[in-house]
Chains A and B, each alone.
Chain A
Amino acid sequence: MSTRLARGGRLIDRTKPITVTFNGRRMAGYLGDTLASAVLANDQMMVGRSFKYHRPRGVVASGAEEPNALVGLGTGGRFEPNQRMTTTEAFDGAETASQNHWPSLEFDIGAINNKFGRLLPGGFYYKTFMWPRSFWKHVYEPIIRQSAGLGKVPTDRDADRYEQAYAFADVAVVGAGIAGLTAALGAAKAGKRVIVLEMTPACGGRAVVDGITIDGQGADAWVAAAVEALRGMDNVTLMTRTMATGLYDHGYLMAAERIADHTPGDGRPKQRLWRIRAGEVITATGAIERTLSFAGNDIPGVMLAAAVRDYVVNYGVSIGDRTVIVTNNDDAYRTALALLDAGLRVPAVIDARANVTGALAQAVRDRGVRVLAGHGVAKVHGGKRVTGVAICAQAGEGAMIEEIACDCVAMSGGWSPVVHLWSHCGGKLNWDETSAMFRPDPQRPPLGADGRGMVRAVGSANGMLTADAVLADAHAAFGSGAAPATDAPAEAAMEPVWIMPQGAGPKLRMKMWLDPQNDVKVSDVQLAAREGYESVEHTKRYTTLGMATDQGKMSNINGLAVLSNALHQPIPATGTTTFRPPYTPLNFGAIAGEARGEIFQPLRRTPIHDWHETHGVEWEPVGLWRRPFCYRRPGESTEAAVNREVRNTRQNLGLLDASTLGKILVKGPDAGKFLDMLYTGVMSTLAVGKCRYGLMCNEQGFLSDDGVVVRLSEDSWLCHTTSGGADRIHGWMEDWLQCEWWDWKVHTANLTEQFAQIAVVGPNARKLLEKLGGMDVSKETLPFMAFAEGTLGGFDARVFRISFSGELSYEIAVPASQGRAFWEKLHDAGQEFGLMPYGTECLHILRAEKGFIMIGDETDGTVIPQDLNMAWAISKKKADYLGKRGQERSYLASADRWKLVGLETLDGSVLPDGVYAVAPGVNANGQRNVQGRVTSTYFSPTLGRGIAMGLVKHGPDRMGEVLDFPGDNGKIHQARIVDQVFFDKEGAKNDA
C-alpha cells in the first residue's frame, strides 16, 4: 500500500498538517504536499479512469507530464476541472473529485468498453461513425459526448480574479534547477537584466532529489545559496510557481504565475499571466522520463522511476512496500537506492540491457538487490493496483521466467529533453542516437528580430544527462572559468527499448499503453501504420496518440519509435509532432485577465450618458458607444416609446444626444485641395460659415462614410463623420497625408470627444434657442446649412443649422465638460414647447420618412453613391477624387445596378428587414433569381403604415411596379416601388 513514511520529505512541513478530501474521503496531508502526494500518502492509488476504456488509472508521474491524475478541484465558483494532481499544491480544505467515471470510481459502467477493447482499435471513431450521415449529429455525437468524461465544465461564474502583467529582460531563464540557476547566476554577474521562471514552489529540480554534492556541498545547500544570491541582486527577478507556457516571435515569452491557487479566497488574484519580452531565452527546462512499453504498464502502481523517488524523497511517501524497478538506463538505480535508504524493499531491478556495468548498478548490487540483466517485464499482474510482475527475457517473445510479487513497479525508459519552448518558435531538433532522444540543434535555433538565435537550451533540456555535464553546459552559457563540479558517478549508456520484450506478440502489444489518458496502445499505432498512415501528424490524429491533455509529454516518443519501426524507417525520418503552446493547459481566466465584467471591453460614454441612464433609456450599442435607442416612460413599451418620440419631434420638439458623431478638424493651406480628394463633392469652394453634405468613398469606389462638412475659416474645415466612422476616417485622412500626399500642407485633429453635440429638432426648435438667448438663430441670420459660433444661454456654442429629419433643426456643439449642463438646460427650458428626448430608433424613422440614407443600412461595402441616386453629390468637374477611378470600372458604371427606391407594402404592413425581391426563373445553382432587397424598413407613426427603402434593379425606372418579397414561413410580402421620400416631399417643414 502507499503510505506516509515516518521520516523524510524535504518539501513537506510536518508541523503543518492539512486535510484534503478525495471523492468525499478526508485525507491527512502536510503543507508542501501536492494533491498527488497527499492522496498517495493515504493509499489512494487509483485516481481516475481512462478516456476510452475507462480503465483504472493511478498517478504515474510527479510533474507536468502526468497523464492520469486529473481531478475536479473546488466547488461552486472555485470549481476547476482537469487539475493535474502532481503539480497542484495541496491546501487545507481542498476538495477534489475524480473524473471520467460513472456511477463511481470503483465501479464504472463504461469500463465494459475495456472488455470489448478488441472492437475499439485505433481509428475506431472514424471507422464506425461514418454513416449514415444524419446519424452523426443526432446519434453518434451525443453518445460520444455523454460517455467522453474528461472534466465537467464549471457551472458557476468564476469567483476569482486574474490579471496580466508585462515584463522585460535581457535574459529570461526558464527553469530553476541547477542548470537554470547556474545560467542565471552567470547572466546576472555579467550585468544582464535577468528573469528566472520556476514552475514549482521550490528551486533545485532533480539534483536535490538525487542528493548529489556540488562544489563540496549538498545540492540542497548549493541551491539555497544560489537562490539567495539571485534574490539579492537588483538585476534579477526570480519567480517561482510560474510556468513558461509558450515562446513566440521576437522573444515574447508567456508565463502563468500561480498566486493564490493554493490559498483560495485570500484576496489575491488567483493567477497572473506574464507577457515577457526577453532579449534571449535560456531554456533550462530539464528532461522528462519515459515509460517502457510492457503489457499492463497502465495499471495503478506502475510509475516512472524518478517519480517514485520524488515521492519518497520530497514528500516522505512510499508508493509500495515492494518495488520492482524496470529500466534501460542507470538513472533508475537511484530510485532503488532512495527506496533502500527509506527502509523499503526492492525485490529486483530488471534491466533490459544485457551488460549492466555502471557504478550506480554496482551500488545497488552491493546492497543485496538482485539485478536481472537482459530481462524485461512480460506482464504486470493486477487490476486496480499492481500485485506482481512476470519476468521474461528482453530478447524473447515474453515467455515467463519468474514471477515477483510487488505492489509498485518503477519504470524508466530513459529521458527526453523538454524541448517545447525551443520548438514553439521554430527551433529544430536533432536525433541523438546514443541517448535515443531528440535534442535541440544549436545550429538551428529559433530566430529573433535580428535574425540571430534567440534561444539557448542548457542542461538536461539540451540533452545533458549527468550533473557534471549539466553544470558545465549551463555555466558555459554566460560564465567563464571552471563550472561547478559534482560527485555524481559516471553513468553507463542507456539502450533504447521501445517495446518489452522485444518480440512481444499481438496479445501483449494490445496491453502496452503509449497514451494512458486517451488509451492508445502499441497495437493501435502499428495498426495505423498497416492501414497506410505514414505521416506522424496523421497517425496522431487517427489514433489520438498524444492528443490528451498531457500532450504526450511522457510517452509520445515511444509512439514515434513504434511507428518508425512499423514503417521500417529510422526515428528521425518519422520526426516529431509539432510542439505547440501552451506547455500545460492555461486557465481561461488567466487568458482573459482583467477583461471581464464592466471592463470586458471599453465602453464609450458621452458627457450626457449618466442623464440618459436615469431617464428610462434603452441602450443601443454603436461601435463601443452606447446610444439611447429610446426613452421609455413607466409602463410604456419600446415600440410605444419610439412612436411617441417620432410624433412629438414632428409636432413639437425633440432632443437628441449626437455627441458620438465624428468631428475632425482639417486645417492648412492645402486643406481644401485635400478635402476635394477625400469627398466626392467639392469642399474647397464652400463659403466660410456654410455647411455642405459630403460622401467619402474608398479607392474601389464604394461608399464609405458621409457627413456634413463645415467651413470654419479660410483655412479650416470641420468634417462630421458617422458615429462608428470617426476613428476610421481620421486614420484614413492621416494615411493619405502621411503616405501619399506628404508634401501637402494639411493638419488634422480628431475633436470628436472635445464637444458634446445636441440636436434640437422640430417645429419649436427655434423658439427654444431664442428662449435661451445669446445668438441670433433666425432664418435670415442662420439659414439652412449655415454655421455660427457664440454663446447660447451662457454656453460656448457652435450652432449648425442642419437637419437629418426634415424638421427645423439645429445641432449645437458645446465643450464636453459643459455637455451635461447644456442638455439639462435645453431639456428644462424646452418643456413649455413640448420637448422630449429621443433616441436612435426615432432618428432612423425620421430620416427614413425623408428618404435619407444611412451608412451601414443603405450601404454595405458594395454600394456606390450612384446606386443611391446621389450623383448630385458627386462632382463631375473634378479630375480626381478617391474612388473616382474605381467607379469607372465597367461593373460599377453599368446601367443594370440595383438602385435605391422607396417601397410601400400593399397592405400597409412593415416589410421584414433584409428580404429579397424575387424575379422569374432560377440561377445556375437552381436558386430563385432576385432583383432587389430591402435596406431599411420601419413603421412610420407619422404616416401610420410601413415604409421601406431598398435597392432594386432599374428601380427608379419602375415606379408603381409591385414586387414579391418572400419572407418567413412561405409568406410573400408585396410592395410597390415608390419615391424614396415619403414625407414632406417639398421640404416645407425644414424651411420653416
Chain B
Amino acid sequence: MPDTVSALNGKTYAGFVDIAEAGLQGMITLRGDLASAALAKAVKAAVGTKVPDQRRIVTAGGKSALWMSPDELLLLVPYVEAPGIAAQLSESLSGEHAMAVNVSDARAMFRIKGAKASQALQKLAPVDFASLGDDEVRRSRIAQVAGALWKSGPQEFTLVSFRSVAGYVMGLLESSARPGSEIA
C-alpha cells in the first residue's frame, strides 16, 4: 500500500478548544430507497446499525450511519475497510436501484474538543447549537463552504468538509478558537 495522507496530515491547533484534523476516515455514500428492507439489511451488514432517521446518526462498534438526505446515507467505517465495504454494499444491493461509492478521499474530518466547542462552531455556521440533538447531524454552511457536523462526545463535535478546502476550514477553526475570543 502506498503512502496515504489525509488532507492536512493530522494537523492540530490548541485554542480555547482543541482542534484536530482527524486523519483518514473511511466514508461511503449510499444512495437508494432508505425505506427498503434490502437497503436496511445491507446497512446492517455493512456497519451494524439500523438506517438512521431523518438527520440522525447511529453508531455501533466504531461504525456509523448518518442520514444526509431523503435518499442518501453516509457510512463511517475504518479507512482501509471502505473499498471492501463499498464493494460489498454494491454487491448486496445489485438488484436494487442504489449506489454505494467510496468517498473517503473526497473529505476531510475535524474534531473540535473542549467545554466551549460549540462556541468555535457558533461563529462559523448558522446553526442553533442549543437545540441541536445529541444524535443529530446538521449539514450547513461553514463560513463559505458546505459542511456537516454532529456531537461526537460530551464536549466534542466532529465536522466534515470537502478535502480541497480542508486548509480553509482549519484556518476558520484556528481563527474562531483563538484564545481570548471565547464568547462571554
Contacts and interface: CB of A to CB of B under 8 A. Distances in A.
B135 interface: no
Interface in B84-138: 97-99, 101-107, 119, 122-128, 130-131
B27 to A, nearest CB: 10
A754 B171 contact: no
A602 B99 contact: no
A601 B6 CA distance: 22
A818 B2 contact: yes
A817 B31 contact: no
Interface in A635-668: 665, 667-668
B157 interface: no
A166 B127 contact: yes
9 contacts: A165-B123, A167-B122, A602-B143, A607-B7, A747-B32, A751-B103, A795-B2, A818-B4, A818-B105
A604 B180 contact: no
B175 interface: yes
Contacts of B124: 594
A599 B172 contact: yes
A224 interface: no
A749 B179 contact: no
B155 interface: no
A595 B3 contact: no
B4 A275 contact: no
A751 B106 contact: yes
B38 to A, nearest CB: 14
B99 A667 contact: yes
B143 A753 contact: no
A604 B165 contact: yes
A163 interface: yes
A815 B105 contact: yes
Contacts of B103: 749, 751, 754
Nearest to A746: B97
Given A168-B131, A607-B163, A818-B105, 7 more contacts: A594-B176, A604-B164, A605-B166, A747-B99, A794-B2, A817-B5, A822-B2
Interface stretch (A13-21, A261-269, A486-494): A261-269
Contact of A603 (B125, B168, B180): B168
Contacts of A931: none
Best-surrounded residue of A598, A750, A754, A818 (most CB of chain B within 10 A): A754
Could you say which of A164, A816, A820 has the most chain B C-beta atoms within 10 Å of its C-beta?
A816
Nearest to B82: A815
Given A165-B122, A599-B175, A266 B180 contact: yes
Interface of A: 161, 163-168, 193, 237, 239, 266-269, 272, 275, 277, 594-595, 598-599, 601-607, 624-625, 665, 667-669, 716, 745, 747, 749-755, 794-796, 815-818, 820-822, 825
B50 interface: no
Interface string B1-30: 111111100000000000000001000010
Interface centre among A163, A275, A822, A825, by most B CB within 10 Å? A163
A166 to B, nearest CB: 5
Nearest to B27: A754
Nearest to B164: A604
A165 B143 CA distance: 10
A669 B99 CA distance: 11
B144 A602 contact: yes
B97 A816 contact: no
A163 B16 CA distance: 15
Contact of A753 (B1, B126, B163, B172): B163
Contact of B168 (A237, A599, A821): A599
A272 B123 CA distance: 9
B125 A818 contact: no
Contact of A595 (B6, B144, B181): B144
B148 to A, nearest CB: 15
B167 to A, nearest CB: 6
A603 B184 CA distance: 31
B109 to A, nearest CB: 12
Contacts of A665: 99, 101
A816 B123 contact: no
Nearest to A818: B2
A398 to B, nearest CB: 55
B183 interface: yes
A267 B180 contact: yes
Nearest to A275: B126
A291 B176 CA distance: 44
Contacts of B3: 818, 820-821
Contact of B5 (A269, A275, A277, A820): A820
B168 A163 contact: no
Nearest to B8: A605
Given A166-B125, A817-B4, A599 B164 contact: no
A594 B31 contact: no
Nearest to A791: B2
B145 interface: yes
B128 A168 contact: yes
A166 B123 CA distance: 6
Contacts of B29: 749
A193 B3 CA distance: 51
Contacts of B145: 602
B31 A749 contact: yes
A850 B97 CA distance: 42
Contact of A267 (B31, B179, B184): B179
A745 B2 CA distance: 37
B97 A753 contact: no
Interface string B66-94: 00000100000000000100000000000
A267 B1 CA distance: 46
8 pairs of A and B residues whose beta carbons are closest in the complex: A816-B105, A604-B164, A754-B106, A753-B106, A267-B180, A747-B99, A817-B4, A168-B128
A166 B99 CA distance: 36
A163 B176 contact: yes
Contacts of A272: 183
A166 B32 CA distance: 34
B179 A606 contact: no
B183 A745 contact: no
B178 interface: yes
Contacts of A604: 164-165
Given A166-B122, A599-B168, A815-B105, A747 B98 contact: yes
Contacts of B105: 753-755, 815-818
Contacts of B99: 665, 667-668, 716, 747, 749
A163 B178 CA distance: 11
B1 to A, nearest CB: 8
Contacts of B163: 607, 753, 816
Contacts of A815: 4, 104-105
Contacts of A624: 165
Contact of A594 (B5, B71, B143, B167): B143
B53 to A, nearest CB: 21
Contact of A163 (B101, B107, B123, B171): B123
Contacts of B175: 161, 163, 594, 599
A161 B178 CA distance: 10
Contacts of B183: 165, 272
Nearest to A594: B175
Given A754-B106, A817-B105, A822-B2, A602 B180 contact: no
A599 B171 contact: yes
A595 B143 contact: yes
Contacts of A821: 2-5
Contact of B126 (A166, A602, A603): A166
B97 A668 contact: yes
Contact of A747 (B5, B31, B131): B31
Contacts of A603: 165, 167-168
B168 A745 contact: no
Most buried by A among B31, B164, B180: B164
A754 B102 contact: yes
Contacts of B24: 817
A168 B101 contact: no
A157 to B, nearest CB: 16
B176 to A, nearest CB: 7
